[in-house]
Amino acid sequence: MKNKYLHIITIGCQMNIYDSEQMAIRLKALGYNLIPFSERADLIIVNTCAIREKAEQKVFSLLGRLARLKKKNPGLILGVGGCVAQQEGKKLLQRVPCLDLVFGTHAAGRLPELVERIEQQGCRIVDIGMSDQKNSLESVLQYDQNINISKFVTIMQGCENFCTYCVVPYVRGKELSRKPEAIIREIKALVKSGAGEITLLGQNVNSYGKKEGISTFPELLASINRIEGLKRIRFTTSHPKDLSDELIECFANLDKLCKHIHLPVQSGSNRILRRMNRKYTREEYLEKIEKLREICPDIAVSTDLIAGFPGESKSDFEDTLELMKQVEYDSIFAFKYSDRPNAKAAGFSDKISENEKRTRLQRILKLQEGFTAQKNSSLVGLIQPVLVEGLSKKQDMDNQYDSNNNLQWTGRTSTNKIVNFFHDNDRKISDGSMSDRIYEGKLVDVKIKKALLHSLKGKLVVPEPRLSDKKGDNSYVA
Ligand code: 5AD
Ligand code: SF4
């Protein structure tokens, strides 16, 4: 089989990163080797995101640039997948003449077949059918050795909540959960290939299994917690309305579950929450945060916020700032509201001006800076277990070493904070044979020395060697 080169550009969420990886594995069977961006590529796929207007604009400017590449290399096959493809379908093929393939969020299983047809017939194809929903959720399990330490696993797709600002129910379709056995099989395969941490993905993981009557999300978590060799479990995203007491209790009962929850609130005003169709009140949300902190006092909480939803008055906005002060989030993602095709709020009449949205977004971000700094500073002087992802990938190579020429490593705390750390004598610990990977995938103790806004700096603590460590989270195994 001829060796061919594939490049995938992923825009958007973690689910897209997972989907892109699955595409690469599927296309390998057709002889495509995944490479970084290069004019040598025979096939370029853009995996797109439509969640906010900005992400969609990014797709179109990128396609403009790829069109120029295709002019130079007419043999190049250009494909667009994901949410924008699902949303635009045939219109996308008409609008971008250099495109060969448009495939939707449920066509991943058919991708090799589609590409093969283009190779053989030189045709242009649109496939945005939702019929293959089950199949597109089935993952391919042929992982390379030495994969990243931290991997994503999609456990369900689609959403039926219909928040009035959101495009997801239209582009990702109906909610569908994967079977627990398939998920467990996939995680075991990932662990065997070197993964230490798994993040379970879904638009609303809390409703996992409900429709199908298979195991609940807390039951799934408990089974995953038993997988040997797996060190950490994370999940995202949780809808506050479906956050059950059983799930909250998992933070106390499951030793591998990281102490972090992403719980998007979107707004602190009950009036706006109603207009968003979020199905919880500010009070109910705060009660859940309180329960989480009761069960797990040092849990980190992050959220998503939308600034300037249609009809958001000054007092609604103040309610959001007030809620932020009450919760004191570890981190947030905040966005200016933008109209999305099909979403109900696009038809609301009382829109907020761009200028006002920008001002409100800035106020949210500014307020959060103080809380993030405070949370990060509170860790200085403490020892934190860190799962090491590898050498720090700083662009500035000088920053990879400290003044004694020790390498800088990077990883995360259980609470999801990035920690860059040095060890006083890398060479000593690796017994003279300095290898790039000595700490990779290990859980190590790091003493936090300095807090920055987006990361922490620390120094490795070398404990007495232990023969075994059942709990995992405090282990250091050289
Ligand atoms: N405008 C702005 N932000 C949005 N989000 C989703 N749809 C929109 C929109 N139309 C944000 C929400 C969601 C996150 C993934 O993106 O905060 O939680
Ligand atoms: Fe969109 Fe709401 Fe579904 Fe989240 S829960 S994906 S915001 S519709």
Ligand 2 centroid vs 9 CA: distance in angstroms? Answer: 24
Specify the CATH architecture of the domain 134-377.
Alpha-Beta Horseshoe (3.80)
Res. 399 pLDDT band, cuts 50 70 90: low
CA distance 116 to 101: 11
Average pLDDT of 399-410? 68
Which tens digits make up the pLDDT trace of 263-294? 999 999 999 999 999 999 999 999 999 999 99
**Strand-pair category, 150-154 with 197-201:** parallel
Q: At what angle do helices 111-121 and 14-28 cross, to 10 degrees?
A: 50
CB-based contacts of 331: which residues, under 8 Å, 6+ apart? 300, 302, 368, 372, 416
- The CATH class, in words, for 4-132 is alpha beta
Asked which of 97-106, 308-317, 392-401, 421-430 is least confident by mean pLDDT, the reply is 392-401
Which tens digits make up the pLDDT trace of 314-342? 999 999 999 999 999 999 999 999 999 99
Pocket-forming residues, ligand 2, beta carbon under 6 Å = 159, 161-163, 166, 168-169, 203-204, 239
Asked which of 239-253, 260-274, 402-416 is least confident by mean pLDDT, the reply is 402-416
Ligand 1 centroid vs 173 CA: distance in angstroms? Answer: 17
Q: Are both 4-132 and 134-377 of the same fold?
A: no
Ligand 1 centroid vs 189 CA: distance in angstroms? Answer: 33
Provide the token pair at 244: 């059950």
338 lines ligand 1 (CB under 6 A): yes
Ligand nearest to the CA of 266: 1
Average pLDDT of 107-132? 91
Specify the CATH architecture of the domain 383-477.
Beta Barrel (2.40)
Residue 111 identity (one-letter amino acid): L
User: What pLDDT does 396 receive?
Assistant: 42
Which tens digits make up the pLDDT trace of 201-212? 999 999 999 988
User: What pLDDT does 405 receive?
Assistant: 58
Q: How much is the pTM?
A: 0.91
309 lines ligand 1 (CB under 6 A): no
Strands lying side by side in the sheet with 4-10: 32-34, 4-10, 43-48, 77-81, 101-103, 125-127
Residue nearest to atom 1 of ligand 2 (CA): 166
CA distance 134 to 62: 31
Q: 409 forms bridges with which residues in the sheet?
A: 391, 421
Which of the pair, 7 or 475, is modelled with greater confidence? 7
CA-based Rg of the chain, rounded to a whole angstrom? 23
Domains of the chain, by residue range, sit at 4-132, 134-377, 383-477
Q: At what angle do helices 314-327 and 282-295 cross, to 10 degrees?
A: 10
User: What pLDDT does 473 receive?
Assistant: 44
438 lines ligand 1 (CB under 6 A): no
Q: Of 159, 266, 306, 340, which is best to mutate to test ligand 2, by the most ligand atoms within 8 angstroms of its C-beta?
A: 159
Residue nearest to atom 12 of ligand 1 (CA): 304
